[in-house]
Amino acid sequence: MLKPTIGLEIHAELKTKTKMFCGCPNDPEESHPNANVCPVCLGHPGVLPTANLEAVKAVIKLGMALGGNIPQKAKFDRKSYFYPDLPKGYQISQYDEPLVLGGELAGVKVRRVHLEEDTARLTHADDGESSLVDFNRAGVPLMELVTEPVIHSAGEALRFAKELQLLLRYLEISDADMEKGEMRVEANISLADENSGEFGTKVELKNINSFKAVEGAVTYEMERQSKLLAEDEKIVQETRGWDPIKAKTFSQRVKEEAHDYRYMPEPDIPPMDFAKLGEISLDEIKSSLPELPWQKRKRFAEDYALQPAQVDFLVADKPTADFYEEAISEMEENDGGKNNTLLFNYISSDLQGLLKEANLKTTDEDFKITPAKFADLMALIAKGDITSRAAKNVLSEMFKTGLDAHQIIKNMSLDEFSGEDKLQSVVREVIEQNEKAVADYKKGKENALQFLTGQVMTKTRGGSKPDEVMNLLRELI
Ligand code: ZN
Ligand code: MN
């Protein structure tokens, strides 16, 4: 039986104010090419890099969250290779003394995490003759995480990548948006007989720039290799890219031998010794760790009695989880978990729908619903003071205006129908206008009553209660 073995290498850009080894702004939104550059990040000879300690702290923070070991000493090394996006001929990275050793995430053992610099961005012109280089990205702090080769399915690889993205966001050290290239996944895949105890020939997958691609590329590659092996063919050790349109991997370059990067210690940056480096306190970093995604999941499941899928939904987006929690605490009467589900339902369906339609996030300034206002509306629903249909209207009005529920109900004159007299006049009107339905009801057709109730509900814009309306109809007919 063939068993796949997968190891992941994931790069993520850190969102520090300045670049890794110079004072240039680290601004991924900068649209003007080569705006944020200086002799250091352009790779001029003879310049002096200085390490950005905020980036160092960020990687240590990640290492602590992973439960990894933070060695007392770390240093930077030069990794030599030639490419037009790296004019100085080497990347400053970390070789044998990385910031983090070991750790675990989503059940997958982590080998190491180190810090390095990103390269420039190449754009290949349409004429096929020329390429453009933008150095805004050159020297942006980049963390690289390497897992042990302990993953055995595409689903596991996907879960790991998603959990890492979430963790980076919770730690607020990277936005890790794959579509923007802020997080980039590479996978090593080999297939071998389960009982042989050996690894097969390793194929490296690159250009994986979405979660869909992680799953697609790994699945495709496992199938491609097992087909070859079944036909007694040899697997070529190579680097393969992922074509998302054809949904296939393709050969990029065949490795004849292992790369020789000629690593050497970076002579211009002193090695770090955290026992002596006054600017960095490991204790301080440790105590600054926020509640981590898996801790939040456990607490939400316990405190709010939600289903695992509901917990996952909330925790997958921290601002949504925060909004939920603040709204819950604003709810005055807690009826033993019933409101928890009510709030979840309105957040996960109605509110999400409104946000999506307006292309907004709960963290945007234009999002006008506070947890307190949201909770007020939920309380009205919970008490039965407002129907779910009216609640939807109020919510969408609240989304537009930011007014509180009572004000909206007043403005929309939903409450004008809640008084018995006013409701009676509407019911009378409906009876007068629907002679046939009234006659049908008198003949014993219960459907007719449903129809009439619907008519009243429409006229009152959902501001009346169906039970009340039905009783009144029976009475007056
Ligand atoms: Zn610079
Ligand atoms: Mn790297």
* 16 alpha carbon – ligand 1 mean position (Å): 13
* 245 alpha carbon – ligand 2 mean position (Å): 26
The residues pairing with 145 across neighbouring beta strands, listed in sequence order, are: 10, 113
* 476 alpha carbon – ligand 2 mean position (Å): 78
* 144 alpha carbon – ligand 2 mean position (Å): 6
* 388 alpha carbon – ligand 2 mean position (Å): 53
* 138 alpha carbon – ligand 1 mean position (Å): 8
pLDDT for the residue 411: 82
* 11 alpha carbon – ligand 2 mean position (Å): 7
Looking at the CA of 40, name the nearest ligand. Answer: 1
CB 215 within 8 A of CB 154: yes
Looking at the CA of 81, name the nearest ligand. Answer: 2
Looking at the CA of 144, name the nearest ligand. Answer: 2
* 236 alpha carbon – ligand 1 mean position (Å): 40
pLDDT for the residue 465: 79
pLDDT for the residue 414: 59
* 35 alpha carbon – ligand 1 mean position (Å): 10
* 260 alpha carbon – ligand 2 mean position (Å): 14
- Looking at the domain that runs over 417-476, which CATH code has it been given? 1.10.10.410
pLDDT for the residue 432: 87
Looking at the CA of 136, name the nearest ligand. Answer: 1
Mean pLDDT by 10 residues, the chain (477 residues): 92 98 96 97 95 98 98 97 92 98 98 98 89 96 97 96 98 96 95 83 90 94 92 91 92 74 95 95 96 97 93 96 93 70 94 94 92 92 85 93 90 63 81 89 87 86 78 85
* 219 alpha carbon – ligand 2 mean position (Å): 24
* 262 alpha carbon – ligand 2 mean position (Å): 15
> Domain boundaries in the chain?
2-287, 293-412, 417-476
pLDDT for the residue 335: 61
In three-state form (DSSP H/G/I as H, E/B as E, the rest C), the secondary structure along the chain is: CEEEEEEEEEEEECCCCECCCCCCECCCCCCCCCCCCCCCCCCCCCCCCCCCHHHHHHHHHHHHHCCCECCCEECCEEEECCECCECCCEEEECCCCCCEECCEECCEEEEEEEEEECCCEEEECCCCCCEEEECCCCCCEEEEEEECCCECCHHHHHHHHHHHHHHHHHCCCCCCCCCCCCEEEEEEEEEEECCCCCCCCCEEEEEECCHHHHHHHHHHHHHHHHHHHHCCCCCCCEEEEEECCCCEEEEEEECCCCCCCCCEECCCCCCEECCCCCCCCHHHHHHCCCCCHHHHHHHHHHHHCCCHHHHHHHHCCHHHHHHHHHHHHHCCCCCCCHHHHHHHHHHHHHHHHHHHHHCCCCCCCCCCCCHHHHHHHHHHHHCCCCCHHHHHHHHHHHHHHCCCHHHHHHHCCCHHHCCHHHHHHHHHHHHHHCHHHHHHHHCCCHHHHHHHHHHHHHHCCCCCCHHHHHHHHHHHC
Report the C-alpha gap between 164 and 68 in whole angstroms: 14
Looking at the CA of 114, name the nearest ligand. Answer: 2
* 41 alpha carbon – ligand 1 mean position (Å): 4
Residues, Cβ < 5 Å to ion ligand 2: 144
